[in-house]
Amino acid sequence: MKPERAKTTMNTFPSSAEIVSEPLGVVLNISTWNYPFLLSLQPVIGAIAAGNAVVLKPSELAPATSELLSKLLSQYMDTSAVRVVEGAVPETTALLDQKWDKIFYTGNGKVGRLIAAAAAKHLTPLVLELGGKCPAIVDSNINLKVAVRRIISGKWGCNSGQTCVSPDYIITTKAFSAELVDALTSELKKFYGKDPLQSDDLSSIINSRHFDRLTSLLDDEKVSGKVVFGGQRDKSNLKIVPTILLDPPDDSVIMNDEIFGPLLPIITVDKVEDGIHGKINAKEKPLAAYLFTNDKKLQQEFIRNVSAGCMAINDTTLQLTEHSLPFGGVGESGFGAYHGKFSFEAFSHKKAVLIRSFAGDVEARYPPYSPGKLQFLKAVLSGNKNQSIIIMALDAEAVVKELRSTYTSGKTKSFEWRVSQLKALLKITTHHEKDIVEALRSDLNKPEYEAFVHEIVGISSECKFVLKELRKWMKPEKAKTTMTTFPSSAEIVSEPLDLSLTPVIGAIAAGNAVVLKPSEVAPATSSLLSKLLSQYMDTSAVKVIEGGVPETTILLDKKWDKILYTGNGKVGRVILAAAAKHLTPVVLELGGKSPAVVDSNINIKVAVRRIISGKWGSNSGQTCVSPDYIITTKAFSSQLVDALKDELEKFYGKDPMQSKDFSSIINSHHFDRITKLLDDEKVSGKIAPTTILDAPDDSLIMNEEIFGPLLPILTVDKIEDSIGRINAKEKPLAAYLFTNDKKLEEEFIRNVSAGSMAINDTVLQLAVNSLPFGGVGESGYGAYHGKFSFDAFSHKKAVLHRTFAGDIDARYPPYNPKKLQIIKALLSGNILSIIRALFGW
């Protein structure tokens, strides 16, 4: 909960910065049936730890547990903030019609897509944990007895295989397969007896529908004769014995659907290495992947080349017991992660806060601009003391196929490739500064000063920052392990997602192939980007696609591994709906009505100059984090208006329309929209040059994001009342406060939820690469900039490493009270309890 300090640079000197974790609001957890107690409450723990209110919808397929959860949570929890809603599909549908601040769902991809589509209507962020076909590669150079016991434990010992991370199929060599089958059958007989249907240690199938689905996999004529062990079933008790199949064909249903039951195909290959590229990577990315080998080189190849939600080396499923490791899917197996700190972060918004005093202001920041001012800013910001594609319907598939081929080759994963492409982007900003300035002037009539400070330096400084830190970011992060998995080690590996439709620096730094779709509303800049990126970048992995709505629609029909969109909420909802069809994770940066609270105890001249810089000096207010409206006290409002008028005249002259330092509105459509806000009769007669005093709450200007050069000023009796006014609206992308009152500053940071904040300045928080940039609520979700961009376009793969030592019989069937006592003692972590259990005291 403690704010995390972030480094600042000369760009914002003097200043300090911090990242504050704040609750999202009210979250919904839709749980599943296979571990109905665990999977209902694990996400609730993270949501409560992060400070949210929670609604839990347990699975109707586990009615006894659902009823117990409802009873116990109402008895022990604060029911004003934690509720259980029982029911089936109608109740779930009713819940999904509501607006939530986050939804967490555990289940299958079909329902996951429905939930993602429902969430898209409300711009609700998601965590989806969906399962998939989890492979286990078994090498021949192993302790075979320990390996098969661990496989059995993770398959049949985990709810009869009705577990999202259970091994779904095994890959081994043809030469080793008979020995492996014999070892598995031998241990299965020891664990479950001669008639497993009578064993109390083998779980039943959840219901008859699921039982019938599993038996249909066995009865498929394509797998006829492939069963080498088991196959017996008893529908009256909903039990299927542990069943092993050898080499079912690739086109059989059992090799294409997630099994989620006690059937285990074994696929054979000539060399064990063939299992990685020829088998695993030919399928969708799984939720978990396992490898049994003593070959360290093969272990590294497996970790590097297999993309999965999580991994264990020389064991199965046990990675879930380590709370220092994230748990979550990638691709079709879901997105988002939880467990331990990752649960806290999943249900938190990381709010970036930049804090400044009124000292350290420089004239070079403000209009009227001049070559001397630009030269000075360049010195400060420096830190010194291939082909373009105009896409047609028939080309889209080919573009995606080419980029996926590049990614699959492994080219983009290397450190060297990432560095070469980032340096190429840096060259673009330095070698073509004049071209960029001219394109921006053509599109927006943007002054050279703003073009450099707000756009060019944003790319160059980000590239330099990423190049400096990249090797450290790519290095696997060590994670602590506990007695549960002793002896073991663990690490978190950042791996590329694959193919992104996205901002380029973070995606390249993370090792992805990228498609950039620039805005058709800024055609000169779009054309220049297309030209320069094709000239400097590796076009087998980075492509620019120009065009309008038809081209964007074609792109959204394709499957991407991540989409980042910057724009408005209306289009954001369309993009989310398209992404839901493919279970594609999305980062949305959407803007909103960003407030600026102005106290009276300030250096008013410095404050209004910084407000003007962030509003009219930032693309005439056509900036997602520009102040959208001001709140001040009635007593101070006239003084503030006068100060704004004085400084505006100094900056832009008596006729700002003639100022070269004042950007144009992007087009006539946007111009007409802004003038409509001014022509609203509810604000008529209250207009100062570009400020509006006390516009009514129900006026258009106070309910739409302005995104232009109009600035309403609202008045309150006490400055503290401003927080209530802000919180009555949707959460903004940015919020600003000007004050010397430390108590008010702390209250503002604690009680106002926004994407980011600056104290005693505006917009400048975006210049701090160590701070995340992203929205919350209606202003979007997900974050980028610096390390946060790298993380946004990476999957954090949890990897648990074990040897074949340290195995204990208490883990395996047949179960008995003593084994349970030992396991309870081990999981407690209490050494004395462990000793007592081992000696039977």
With H, G, I as helix, E, B as strand and everything else as coil, classify residue 247: coil
Which residue has 């890959």 as its token pair? 171
Q: In whole angstroms, what is the distance from residue 392 CA to residue 760 CA?
A: 49
Count Cβ atoms below 10 Å from residue 363 Cβ, excluding itself. 10
Q: In whole angstroms, what is the distance from residue 339 CA to residue 457 CA?
A: 38
With H, G, I as helix, E, B as strand and everything else as coil, classify residue 403: helix
**Torsions phi, psi for 209 (to 5 deg):** -65, -45
**Exposed e or buried b per residue across 747-777, where buried means at least 16 C-beta atoms within 10 angstroms of its C-beta:** ebbeebbbbbbbbbbbbbbbbbbbbbbbbbb
With H, G, I as helix, E, B as strand and everything else as coil, classify residue 811: helix
Length of the chain: 841
Q: In whole angstroms, what is the distance from residue 199 CA to residue 214 CA?
A: 20
Q: In whole angstroms, what is the distance from residue 105 CA to residue 39 CA?
A: 10
Cβ atoms of residues 512 and 497 within 8 Å = yes
Count Cβ atoms below 10 Å from residue 828 Cβ, excluding itself. 13
Active site residue 589: yes
**Torsions phi, psi for 746 (to 5 deg):** -65, -40
Provide the token pair at 38.
């665990």
**Catalytic residue from among 273, 450, 462, 589:** 589
Rg of the chain on CA atoms, in Å:
29
CA dihedral 182, 185, 190, 192 (to 10 degrees): 180
CA distances from 251 to 169, 200, 203, 247, 254 (A): 14, 35, 29, 11, 8
Those residues whose C-beta lies under 8 Å from the C-beta of residue 209, and which sit 6 or more positions away, are none
**Torsions phi, psi for 657 (to 5 deg):** -60, -25
CA distances from 829 to 31, 602, 824, 838 (A): 28, 55, 9, 14
Task: Let me know the angle formed at the C-alpha of 685 by 684 and 688, rounded to the nearest 5 degrees.
Answer: 110
User: β-pairing, 310-313 with 288-292?
Assistant: parallel
Q: What is the DSSP letter of 387?
A: -
Those residues whose C-beta lies under 8 Å from the C-beta of residue 27, and which sit 6 or more positions away, are 47, 52, 53, 54, 55, 100, 101, 102, 103, 104, 347
Residues linked to residue 757 through DSSP beta bridges, in sequence order: 353, 735
Listed residue (48, 185, 164, 49) closest to 106, CA to CA: 164
Q: In whole angstroms, what is the distance from residue 617 CA to residue 614 CA?
A: 6
Listed residue (571, 644, 570) closest to 611, CA to CA: 644
Q: What is the DSSP letter of 476?
A: P
CA distances from 258 to 134, 205, 254, 290, 493 (A): 8, 15, 7, 16, 25
At 125, which amino acid appears?
Answer: P
Q: In whole angstroms, what is the distance from residue 285 CA to residue 348 CA?
A: 27
**Torsions phi, psi for 170 (to 5 deg):** -110, 145
Q: In whole angstroms, what is the distance from residue 696 CA to residue 708 CA?
A: 19
Count Cβ atoms below 10 Å from residue 624 Cβ, excluding itself. 26
Q: Per the omega criterion (within 30 degrees of 0), is the bond before 772 cis?
A: no
Q: How many CA atoms lie within 13 A of 296 on its CB side?
A: 0
Query: What are the DSSP E strand ranges found in 469-622?
Result: 477-479, 488-496, 499-501, 513-516, 542-546, 562-566, 586-589, 595-598
Q: In whole angstroms, what is the distance from residue 562 CA to residue 586 CA?
A: 6
The residues annotated with a catalytic role in the active site are 589
